[in-house]
Amino acid sequence: MLPPITLVFVIISKFSFLHPIQTISGHDVKIGIFSFILLCGVILIVGFLHLEYYTVIPTIACSKIALLGQLLHPRHFINSLVHCFMGVIVAWCCAVTMGLRYETLGYPCTESDGHPQMCLNEYHLILLLAGAFVGFSHSLLGVIYNMNYVSFHTVQQYKYLRFKRCLPLVVKCSATQALYSVRNYIVMYLFLGYIPRAWICKTLNLHLDSSVHPLDSIAGLLDLSLLYHLWSSATFLLLTWNITLLLFRIFVTEVYSFPVQSSFTEDSHQCLPKVLTEKQPMILKFLALQDLALLSQHSPSRRCEVFSLSQPGGHPHNWNAISKECLSLLTDLTQRLVAYHDTVATNGRAKSLSSGKDLMSPRPVFLMKTPASVFARSVAGTPQSPLTSLFTPDLDSPFASPALRRLTAPVDQCSPWYGTVQSPHIMRRAPKLWSTSTGEVEFQKSNISFSTHRSSNIQVLSNEVVKNFLAKRVLIMYLFNKLPEASSQALFADSQAHIWALEGLSYLVQASFSEDQFGVVQTTLPSILSCMLVLQEAVDRHFKLPHASSKPVRSTSSMGDSTYKTLRFALRATLKTAIYRITTTFGDHLNAVQISAEHRKRLQQFLEYKE
Amino acid sequence: MCSLALFPPPLPSGQTTLCESNNELLSGASTEDRLKQESSPLSLHFPRESLKLHSRTESSSKAAFLDHSETLWMRSAAAWRDGGFTGLLNEITNSHTEVPKWLSMSSGCILALLRWVSSFHGSLFPHLTLSSEDMIAEFSQVLNWSDCVVRAFAWHPHTDKFAVALLDDSIKIYNPKSATTPTLKHRLQRSVAAVQWKPLCASALAVACQNCLLVWHVDPCSLSTRPSSGCAQVLSHPGHSPVTSIAWSPSGSLLLSASPMDSTMMVWDVAAESCVPLQRVGGGGVSFLSWSPDGSHVLASTPSALFRVWETRMWTCERWPCVKGRCQSGCWSPDGSRLLFTVQGEMVIYALTFTDAPGVPTSTSQGPQAAAVVADLSETTFSTPDGDIVVGGEIQSLVWDPRGERLAVLLKGDPQAADRPAIIAVFKTRANPIFELLPCGFVQGEAGAEPRLMQFHPNFQHGALLTVCWSNGRITHVPFYFVSAGVPHFGLSGSPLLPHPQQRPADFVNQSLFTEFLS
């Protein structure tokens, strides 16, 4: 991570001195340098936060209440607080470099009786608070728009070109976002501005200058130069942070070329087949998959290594590992889709809770791989059980903190005081309605907290009562209503991996037609084909559901990346292309492949270009 | 170097080219021959009268319907919506009775300044002053696009179906295996400049329209003859219109689009409806795109004397300045190693050779800054029974068949002079062991019909199949029967060893006219 940070330094130094705010400063070099060092520190912290919080799989809240839960989650809360604090620091730097009336918090003034004392400089205060507000709103928006999600690009470009291309967009985004936050901030200050002012005055023993007009009035805030300075410092703040974010994204998603096989055993853990199978740093797995997709397309020499046999023994270990991992990814997605479809299909009928449990229990294996949110939400989509889906923590994310696990783990089994369930914090403790019946071992392995509970009839009954009670409140219903297509988005949240797996497999199979000397691909071709066809069927079925095929609204002017919203369409297109790639390459030779009659029929459709 | 003088003379009027067989082009005189040919894929005829045309454009009807008693605010808002900033200024300047004098004065001044700047910009890039229809006509691969009944044509890359875009902005899809011919119409589908099927997909068809790109998803099993406009994805980007050229990547994952007004080239991820703009300074726009069949390079020509060749791995490009005019057309050899292109104002075909290393081209013989001339198509006079015919001149478009054995060249001719018709010249090409161009013959249609558009069938079993759209609305298919050189076959020539026709001098056939040694 050293190069991005150094680059950030360079960029930031350039920006801080070219910025209109900074250039005004014609005084006190010492403070200027100090504030510059502070700024660098802030950038470093922001970069560190990105490093800590970024994810390649977006968390998608399926209802408003889940979103609220996310926002109030301690992890994000700390993030927001840190952002807030750094906003104050940046604002202080801006204030110092702007000089003039913003420079210090207090200034000497004389009271009406001629007694000298220190008075509060409200301009300074308003600027600091603006920094805090903008920082806080930035982090909130970051959660709402999944700003921490890092998406990969379909088109590879050099880092500099990519940066150059994104820069105008970032500037535009920062300026507009600053405009909106300053507007909101001013409204807020107008009504609540006296609170921090009084507090500061009290703690720092400053006095209000009665001769100066207070700023939390309409006349006080309608000061154009003040507004301009607020806006420009907010823009500066957002710009530096967004550029950090942009650089971070660019560097994280840079293509990394893993060696396919290594001649030294100590390097073998860095090889592509090894990295692919590892679960933990998700980003590494993604990078490996991306590399696989690229190598299968562009580099014949590396493909050759994939098809090669191991030296003693003559086993195609590389190909076996790669194809096995890709296939398991795809099967995983298929099972997830089938399970989701089943739950949705049973939703239509009046389904008792026990049937819901039956549905869950035979498939504990998918459960732990499914993003918990989808499943909880979809199963609980029945009107009978709104409470079960109160929160949708994404425990799949590699960065799920222990705190979260503790919270969602079975905390309070004996306190079902449902009637007063109003705040998400309390709701968090409400017992779930079913358990993974496979028991404690399964539970620990999966780390997913479908909490164990006593499925007593009393609870079910009380739950019914609560439901009826809650259904009458419009606000609650608003909060609990499922956001359309969110569950579908959540289901395909990590589909980028599947897309690469499909591309990599299909290109490798295509290349194997002419390049595979030992026929290593032939042995796995039936399983690849049947896996893809089953997935194709599942995806087709999924897209017949309501909301699944509705397009999201395109949002252009935001730093948040919304590619995850369209991943399912990309997956569908890639899947079809992948099957066609294999069928066009092999043509009628596919009739010799051993697959089931149903799949053969399906394949025939592809061979005749009727899909 | 190959020149037209080595070609067999054009057919007398009334004769049409039917096919190539046994190394010579066969012709027929009348319709019974044509009927014989109809047994091969669909031949179609679109008489101009059968199409319901738009009598006027949208802007001309505007004045007749707009209610002018609206308030100034309403009109300004409408002007802002329709014409942007200049429209707003125009509106303010024109309604000087209602606005303060200083406002109308200042907006008039800004407008004049804008016009002056844009005229300066326009003098740098003259094509920017054209209207969008004229611009499509100027940069389209179709000869005389604005007057053409069939405006675009595309074979499906894998099956025997094709899409035809007509003058009335509709697109018809013909499939010999199904009885239904879906007609695609969409509100935004205006002035179709190009259509192309997505490779490795049965249903997706990309359409370059005046203001946007449309991607239709036409279910091949559906019996509907009018797919709803819900089947079309609309891809648009501000400033990116009119779209004159599109190109799918051969792997079917990306779609490129280009507009002469916009110096950026868009790389679309169609499923996600997102685009990555690729911008390079210079050229003033991108007029023509061609993706090499192996997917490694893209030719992007600009309206000025400059074209670029992008490599598609990291999307870097190299500039190729031309001497005389812009690059009018280009085509790639099937293995993507050789690019043939033509330059407006010159009557020759150039070749560029790309080595395997991506992004490092080495030109064939004359150093890295020059392409080799492989054929000279300057005007040549042939005497036919009907009088002298002058063939040659500027080239409208080039197409290469998917096996790399036949190269068809559409020559512009001169629409004013009767003895200089537009004509298609076909070359035989061979890439191995040395690159050669040999004359094959001219493809001619019925009397009075001139070729407008041509395309090779992407997978014709017995050789190559050239589809030609004629000015009278007819679409015909000219098969070239030969045995591919790729197939092991005795004999050195790419064509089957069959007895040559006696009446033709042997040196016409196998004379090596352009020879190039690969170093």
Candidate from B221, B272, B313 with C-beta closest to A570? B272
Is A400 in a helix, a strand, or coil? coil
- Put simply, the answer to whether B253 touches A577 (Cβ < 8 Å) is yes
Mean pLDDT (chain A) is 74
Nearest CA-CA distance, residue B460 and chain A, Å = 15
Q: Starting at the edge strand that comes first in sequence, how are the strands of the sheet with B436-443 ordered?
A: B395-400, B406-411, B423-430, B436-443
- Is it the case that residue B349 has pLDDT exceeding 80? yes
Chain B partners within 8 Å of A608 (Cβ)? 159
Task: Point out the residue among A566, A576, A610 whose CB comes nearest to the CB of B272.
Answer: A566
How many residues are there in chain A?
611
In chain B, which residues have their Cβ closer than 8 Å to the Cβ of A156? 313-315
**Record: contact B271-A569, CB cut-off 8 A:** yes
Residue B356 is predicted with a pLDDT of 56
Q: Determine, for residues B203 and A569 on separate chains, whether the beta-carbon distance falls below 8 Å.
A: no
Cβ contact A566–B273 (<8 Å): yes
Q: Taking CB atoms and an 8 Å cut-off, how many pairs form between chains A and B?
A: 77
- Restricting to B residues 383-422, those with a Cβ less than 8 Å away from any Cβ of A are none
Residue with tokens 């549905």: A359
Q: At what angle do helices A317-347 and A300-307 cross, to 10 degrees?
A: 90
Q: Is B51 on the interface with A (CB under 8 A)?
A: no
Q: Do B271 and A566 touch (CB under 8 A)?
A: yes
B201–A297 CB contact, under 8 Å? no
- Bin B66: left if φ > 0, else alpha if -120 < ψ < 50, else beta: beta
> Residues of B with CB below 8 A from A577's CB?
200-201, 251-253
Chain A nearest CA to B484, separation (Å): 19
Q: Please state whether beta strands A106-110 and A116-120 pair in parallel, antiparallel, or not at all (unpaired).
A: antiparallel
Nearest residue in chain A measured CA to CA from B278: A165
Q: Which of A337, A324, A340 is nearest to A501 (CA)?
A: A324
SS3 for A1-12, per residue? CHHHHHHHHHHH
pTM for the whole structure: 0.79
Contact A430, A421 (CB under 8 A): yes
Q: Write the residue in A297, A566, A576 that is nearest to B201 by C-beta.
A: A576
DSSP string computed for A337-399: HHHHHHHHHHHTS---HHHHHHHHTT-HHHHHHS-HHHHHHHHTTSTT-GGGGS----TTSTT
Residues in A closer than 8 angstroms to B203, CB to CB, are 611
What is the spatial distance between Cα A480 and Cα A392, in angstroms, rounded to a whole number? Answer: 12
Interface of B with A in 304-323 (CB under 8 A): 313-316
Of B158, B220, B279, nearest to A584 by CB-CB distance is: B158
Mean pLDDT of chain B: 80
Of A34 and B165, the structure prediction assigns the larger pLDDT to B165
Residue range B97-121: mean pLDDT, rounded? 81
pLDDT at A160: 86
Nearest to B189, CA basis, from B200, B175, B202, B205: B205
pLDDT tens-digit profile of B195-206?
999 999 988 999
Among A151, A153, A154, A254, which would you mutate to test the B interface (most chain B Cβ atoms within 10 Å of its Cβ)?
A: A154
Chain A CB within 8 Å of residue B208 CB: no
Contacts of B257 in chain A (CB under 8 A): none
pLDDT at B462 over 50: yes
| DSSP-derived pairing of the beta strands B183-184 and B204-208 | unpaired
Kindly provide the ipTM of the predicted complex, given to two decimals.
0.83
How far B306 CA sits from the closest chain A CA (Å)?
21
Q: Which of A126-130, A475-479, B287-291 holds the top average pLDDT?
A: B287-291
* B279 close to A (CB below 8 A): yes
pLDDT band, residue B472 (cuts 50/70/90): confident
Q: Which helix (H) or strand (E) holds A442?
A: helix A440-446
SS3 state of residue B28? strand
Across the interface, which of B159, B221, B276 has its CB nearest the CB of A155? B276
Q: Is the pLDDT of residue A305 over 70?
A: yes
Q: Measured between beta carbons, which residues in chain B are less than 8 angstroms from residue A509?
A: none
Measured in angstroms, the CA of A153 and the nearest CA of chain B are apart by: 9
| Chain B residues 123-182 with a CB less than 8 Å from chain A | 156, 158-159
Best of A151, A576, A581, A602 to substitute, by most chain B Cβ atoms within 10 angstroms, is A576
CA distance A169 to chain B (A): 12
Contact B288, B329 (CB under 8 A): yes
Contacts of A566 in chain B (CB under 8 A): 271-274
Mean pLDDT of A127-135: 90
Q: What is the pLDDT of residues B315-342, one digit of tens each?
A: 988 888 887 889 999 999 988 888 999 9
**In the predicted model, is pLDDT for residue B170 greater than 80?**
yes
Q: How far is B209 from chain A (nearest CA, A)?
A: 21
Q: In terms of CA atoms, which chain B residue is nearest residue A578?
A: B200
* Cα B410 from Cα B143, distance rounded (Å): 9
Mean pLDDT of B230-256: 91
pLDDT band at residue B58, thresholds of 50, 70 and 90? very low
Most confident of A470-479, B167-176, B424-433: B167-176
pLDDT at A111: 64
Residue of A nearest to B233 (CA): A551
Let me know the angle formed at the C-alpha of B59 by B57 and B64, rounded to the nearest 5 degrees: 100
Read off the pLDDT of residues B385-433 as tens digits, 9 standing for 90 and up: 778 888 888 999 999 999 889 999 999 888 788 778 889 999 998 877 7
Cβ atoms of A460 and A445 within 8 Å: the answer is no
How many whole angstroms separate alpha carbon B123 and alpha carbon B129?
9
CB contacts, 8 Å: B220 with chain A? 609-611
Hey, are the CB atoms on A165 and B277 less than 8 Å from each other? Answer: yes
Question: Which of A160, A299, A577 to mutate to probe the B interface, most B CBs <10 Å?
Answer: A577
Pairwise CB contact (< 8 Å): A551 & B316: no
* Contacts B271 to A, Cβ<8 Å: 566, 569-570, 572-574
B267 touches A: beta carbon within 8 Å = yes
Q: What mean pLDDT is predicted for residues B173-184?
A: 88
A interface with B, Cβ–Cβ < 8 A, is 153-158, 161, 165, 297-298, 503, 551, 554, 563, 566-567, 569-570, 572-574, 576-577, 580-581, 584, 608-611
| Cβ contacts of A574 on chain B, cutoff 8 Å | 253, 271
B241 pLDDT higher than 50: yes
Query: At how many degrees (to 10) do helices A224-252 and A29-53 cross?
Result: 50
In Å, how far are A283, A559, B298 from A157, measured between CA atoms? 19, 19, 15
pLDDT in tens, A165-216: 888 888 888 889 999 999 999 888 888 888 888 888 888 777 776 666 677 7
Are β-strands B2-3 and B372-376 bridged in parallel, bridged antiparallel, or unpaired? parallel
Please say whether the beta carbons of A52 and A17 come within 8 A: no
CB contact under 8 A, B251 and A567: no
The residue of chain A nearest to residue B221, with distances taken between CA atoms, is A610
Could B201 and A577 be called an inter-chain contact, meaning their C-beta atoms sit closer than 8 Å?
yes
Higher local confidence (pLDDT), A467 or A297? A297
Structure tokens at A229: 């300075």
Cα–Cα distance for residue pair A528/A317, rounded to 1 Å = 17
Q: Which residue has the higher pLDDT, B9 or A485?
A: B9
Q: Pick from B251, B272, B279: which is nearest to A569 by CB?
A: B272
Query: What's the gap in Å between the CA of A182 and the closest CA on chain B?
Result: 27
**H or E stretch covering B257:** strand B255-259
Using a CB–CB cutoff of 8 Å, tell me whether B200 touches chain A: yes
